[in-house]
Amino acid sequence: MYLNTIAGRTYNDLNQYPVFPWVIVNYESEELDLSQPNNFRDLSKPIGALNPTRKAFFDERYETWEHDQIPPFHYGTHYSTAAFTLNWLIRVEPFTTMFLNLQGGKFDHADRTFSSVTQAWKSCQRDTSDVKELIPEFYCLPEMFVNHNGFTFGKQDDGSEVKDIILPPWAKNPEDFVRINRMALESEFVSCQLHHWIDLIFGYKQRGPEAVRATNVFYYLTYEGSVNLETMTDLVMKEVYNMVFLFHSYNQWDLLPYLQRKCQLRNNDRFSHERCIIHGVFIVSYSYNQRDLLPYLRRKCQLRNNDRFSHERGDKENQIRNFGQTPLQLLTEPHPPRSSVMHLTPMMFSTVQDDVCMIMKFLSNSPVCHVAANTHPAVPVAAVTTISCNHNFAINKWNNNYQQQGTPSNFSSTEKQDTQVKLPMEMDQLLVMNNFDERIKAKHTSFITTADNRFLFACGFWDKSFRLFSTETAKILQVVHGHFDVVTCVARSECNLNQDCYVITGSKDCTVMVWMFTSRNQAIIGDNGSMEHPTPKATLTGHETEVTCVAVLAELGLVFSGSYSKSECNLNQDCYVITGSKDCTVMVWMFTSRNQAIIGDNGSMEHPTPKATLTGHETEVTCVAVLAELGLVFSGSYKGPCLVHTLNGDLLRSLEAPDGCCTPEIISVSREAFVLVKFDQGQICNYSINGRLLQRVSHKDNIQTIILSRDGQYIMLGGNSGVVEVWRSHDLNLLYTYPPCDSSILSLALTHDHKSILSLALTHDHKFLLAGLGTGCLLVFNIDFNKWHHEYQERY
C-alpha cells in the first residue's frame, strides 16, 4: 500500500485505485498447500504474459504495429480502471450505485459480472482484452464476495443466477478465502519474488526497452507525460487531451455532471458529422474553423436528444472514463530482493527454551486477578503491573536486557537477589484501596493501566464511581461519577505515551459510558472542561442486564460491550477508557497523557463527564472491550447480548449468543476485525466485525482470561484447571498446552481455586507470557509464536 500511495494511487479515485497482484494460480484444488511453489504465480511476468500463447499474440501485435501517431503497445486495455474496480466491488455500497451510474442505471450482462474467482482468473489468462490485477479488498474484505443486499444481477447463458461469488474449493467461506489469500501474499515465497512485480508496476520495467523485453507496454496515453500540452498547436486536440487529463487527475464522479450536460450549438451545419477514432479517444472531426468550437466545448448548453453530436460526445466520454492510468514510475533501477528467513540457521539446532522462565510469589497469597505488561523500552519505567483480589498492586520493574538462562527460578519478596542480572522482574507492592463494593468480585476487568504505567483505573466501588490512582504513591487522583449503579468493568483505547485516550465504563445500570482522559491534565475531563464533575462523551444503551465487559476501537469510532477486555495503546498518546456498570450502561472516557487524568467534554478533571454513554442493555454490564482503530466499543450484559457501539454512542449491531448460551463473560477484540466472546456455558465464539458467527467451540474448563497476540492469529487462555493453552484464532484449534500450574512446578499444595489462572499478559516483544494465579504467584512463560507459523513448523 505504501508504494501505491507514493505512486499516486488512492481510494478516492477509481481510475487510480490501488493495485495488488494475483499471487495464487491454483483455484481448483480441494486443498491449497502454500509450501508448494507451483501454487504461486510467476511474479516476474505481467499478468498478460503468463500464458505463452497469449504472450506470443501480444508480442506480435507490438512488432507488427504501424501507425504514424500512436506508438506500438502490447495491451490496449489496462490492469486497473474504474470499470474493473467497480466490477470487483459491485456487491458493496457505495460501489453498486457508482457502477449503476457508470452503466446508465442498469447492471451489466450477467456473463460479464464478477461471479467466480476461478472464472476471473481463467479470463485473465485467456482473454486478450483482460489483463486485470487485483485490488486491496481481495486481501481484507470478505464482504465483497457476498450479496448481502440481495441485488438481482440476472442469469448467465448457462441459466445459473449470479448471486454470491463462487469461491475456490479450498476456501470454506469468504473469511477463509481472504485469510488464505493474505497468507499467500505474506508468505516467504511471494516476499522473495515480489520485487519482480514491483519492477513491472512501479519500477524500471514499466517503460522503455525493459518494458518491451518484459512484454509490459500499455497504450501510451495511460502513462504520465505522454502528451505535452504546451507544445501542441491543434487547439481541438488540446481540448480533448485536457478532458483526458482531467479525468485522470480528478475524481471522475465530480466531473460527470459537467460531461453529461448536452451542448446546444447554434450553427450545426458548420460541422461535419463524421466520427473517427484518434489517439484511442472518440472525438468529432470538424471541417470548419476549429477555434470557434472551443467556447462551445466549455459552455453550459444543451442539444436536442436526436442530435448526432450528443451521441458522439457520449462515445468520447465513455472511452475517457474507462481509460485507466499507469502508476508513477518510482524506480529506474531493479528493486532489491528481500532476504528470505528460510536461509537462516534452522531453529532445530538452537537451544530449546524451557516453558517456565520465572515464578514470582507475593506475600499476600491473594489471587492475582489482573496482569498488565507495559514493557516497551520507550516507557520511562518498563514494568509488569499485578493486582491481587485483596487490592494490593505491584509495579514490577521489567528488565528488557534479560537473557534466558535455561532453567526457571523461584523468587519471593523476602529474598535479596540481583534481579537486573538473573531475573526479568523485581517487585514493589502498594495498596490501592479497601472500600470496594463487596458484591463485586475483583477480576481483571476491574482494572486498567495507562501505557506508561503511571496511572491505574479501578472500578467496583460502592459509591458507583471509578477512580484514578497514581501507581507511584497509590494516592487517589480522581473520583469519577456518572453511572447509577456500581461500575463493573473498565477499558481504554490504544494510545501512545503522553497522549489522550478514551476510557469506557460498563455498569450494573445497563449502560456503557465513553470518557476522555487527557495526558495534559492527567485526569478525566468532561465536555464542559470540568475535572471535578466531568460528563461522559456518550452514553451507550441497548443492554438489558449489567454490562460485564467493554472494548473500544477508536480509529473506527466503535465501542463493544459484553465481557471486559482492554485494548492496547501506543506510547505518548491519549486513550479511551471504557467502563461498564450494573446500571446497564457503558461509558467512554478520555484519558489524556498531557493532563495525566480523565477529562470530560467540559474540560474538567475533578468532575469529568464521559465522552459517551452507551445504552441498550437491560441488565448489568458484565464485560467491555474497545478497538480504537475502528472506533468500536463492545459490551455484554447478564443474560443479554453483546452490543457493538461507535465511540459516539451509536448502536450498530447485536452479536447474538448461540443456543444454550446466556451471559457473555469475556470479550477480546482483534485488530484483524474479529471478536472473540466467551459465554458462561463454556462456549467460545468467534465473530466477524459485522456480527457473523465464524467459529464456535465448547471448552470443559471454566475459562477466566483470554488474550490475543498482536497480529490476532493466536489466542492464549487460562482457567480453573491451571493450564495455559494456545489456540489458532481463525479455526479455534488447540496448538499448544503449557504444563499445568500444580505442585510439581510451584511446590505448593494447591486447591482447585488456588491453581486457577486469573489473568494473562504478553510483553511488548511477544517473547514472554505472564500468568497471574490464584495462589498469589506470577508465572513467566517463554513463548515463541514462530513455531506455530504455517511456514516455519518444519524448522522446529
Contacts of 96 (CB under 8 A, 6+ apart): 90, 149, 151
689 falls within a domain: no
Residue with cell 489496462: 78
In terms of domains, do 524 and 634 share one? yes
Q: Which domain holds residue 240?
A: 229-321
- For the ranges 612-616, 749-753, 789-793, the lowest mean pLDDT is seen at 749-753
Same domain, 39 and 113: yes
How would residue 372 be classed by pLDDT, with cut points 50, 70 and 90? confident
**pLDDT of 412:** 45
State how far the alpha carbon of 498 is from the alpha carbons of 72, 495, 596, 769, in Å. 58, 8, 8, 26
Question: Residue 337 falls within a domain, yes or no?
Answer: no
What Rg do the C-alpha atoms of the chain give, in angstroms?
31
CA distance 572 to 588: 20
Do residue 357 and residue 489 come from a single domain?
Answer: no
- The model's confidence at residue 404, banded by pLDDT at 50, 70 and 90, is low
- The dihedrals phi and psi of 295, each to the nearest 5 degrees, come to -60, -35
Which residues touch 453 (CB under 8 Å, ≥6 apart)?
374, 379, 380, 381, 382, 383, 385, 395, 471
Number of domains within the chain: 4
Higher pLDDT, 195 or 274: 195
CA torsion angle for 169, 173, 178, 181 (degrees, to 10)? -20
Looking at residue 165, what is its pLDDT?
93
The average confidence (pLDDT) of the chain is 75
Whether residues 508 and 627 fall in one domain: yes
pLDDT of res. 435: 53
Those residues with Cβ within 8 angstroms of residue 219's Cβ, 6 or more apart along the chain or in another chain:
73, 75, 76, 78, 280
Q: Are 702 and 664 in contact (CB under 8 A)?
A: no
Residue 740 lies in a domain: yes
Q: Report pLDDT digits (tens) over 497-510.
A: 667 788 888 888 88
14/430 Cα distance (integer angstroms): 58
Lowest average pLDDT, out of 142-151, 154-163, 595-604, 613-622, goes to 595-604
Q: Is the pLDDT of residue 290 over 50?
A: no
CB 764 within 8 Å of CB 375: yes
Split at pLDDT 50, 70, 90, the class of 615 is confident
Are residues 377 and 313 both part of a single domain? no
460 belongs to a structural domain = no
Both 362 and 299 in a single domain? Answer: no
Which range has highest mean pLDDT (267-276, 390-399, 644-653)?
A: 644-653
- Which of residues 288, 321, 354 is at a domain's end? 321
Residue 185 lies in a domain: yes
Q: What is the pLDDT of residues 296-348, one digit of tens each?
A: 434 433 443 344 444 544 444 444 455 678 888 888 888 888 766 555 444 44
For residue 505, which of 546, 454, 557 has the smallest C-alpha distance?
A: 546
Q: How far is residue 616 from each of residues 551, 619, 653, measured CA to CA in Å?
A: 15, 9, 11
> Around Cβ 287, how many Cβ atoms within 10 Å?
10
pLDDT of residue 20 exceeding 90, the answer is yes
* pLDDT over 80 (residue 192): yes
Which single residue is written with the C-alpha cell 458507583? 464
Cα gap 118→364, rounded to integer Å: 63
Q: How confident is the model at residue 399 (pLDDT cuts 50, 70, 90)?
A: confident
pLDDT class of 271 with cuts at 50, 70, 90: very low
118 in Cβ contact with 28 (< 8 Å): yes
Instruction: For 86, list phi and psi in degrees, rounded to 5.
Output: -65, -30
Residue 167: per-residue pLDDT: 95
Q: Are residues 248 and 105 in the same domain?
A: no
Domain check: are 409 and 449 in the same one?
no
Do 285 and 184 belong together in one domain? Answer: no
Could you report the per-residue pLDDT of 635-666, keeping only the tens digit for each? 888 888 889 988 888 888 888 887 777 788 88
Using the predicted structure, report yes or no on whether residue 716 has a pLDDT greater than 60: yes
Using alpha carbons, list the distances in angstroms from residue 724 to 358, 386, 727.
Answer: 15, 18, 10
Strand pairing class (356-361; 409-412): parallel
pLDDT score of 240: 59
Residue 611, pLDDT > 60, answer yes
Residue in the block written with cell 495507562: 450
pLDDT higher for 355 or 466?
466
Pick from 230-244, 340-354, 410-424, 496-510 the range whose average pLDDT is largest. Answer: 496-510
Cis peptide leading into residue 94 (ω within 30°)? yes
Task: With a cut of 90, say whether residue 543 has pLDDT above it.
Answer: no
Q: What is the pLDDT of residue 425?
A: 60
Query: Do residues 279 and 219 touch, judged by C-beta distance below 8 A?
Result: no
542 lies in the same domain as 663: yes
Residues 195 and 288 in one domain: no
Q: How would you class 377 by CB atoms within 10 Å of its CB: exposed for 0-12, middle for 13-18, buried for 19 or more?
A: exposed
Strand partners, 667: 677
Element (H, E) at 388: strand 383-388
Q: How far apart are CA 548 and CA 544, in angstroms?
A: 12
Q: What is the mean pLDDT of residues 430-440?
A: 57
Residue 458 lies in a domain: no
Quickly state the pLDDT bin for 129 (edges 50, 70, 90): confident
Do 561 and 590 lie in a common domain? yes
What is the three-class DSSP state of 518? strand
What pLDDT score does 323 carry? 64
Q: Within a domain: residue 218?
A: no
Q: What is the mean pLDDT of residues 282-291?
A: 33
CATH number, domain containing residue 151: 1.10.1540.10
Dump pLDDT digits (tens) for 551-602: 776 666 667 776 333 334 555 567 777 777 777 777 777 777 667 777 776 6
Residue 677 maps to a domain: no
- Determine the 3-state secondary structure of 166 from DSSP: strand
With beta carbons less than 8 A apart as the criterion, state whether 124 and 21 touch.
no
Most confident of 219-233, 249-263, 429-443: 219-233
* Residue 474 scores a pLDDT above 50: yes
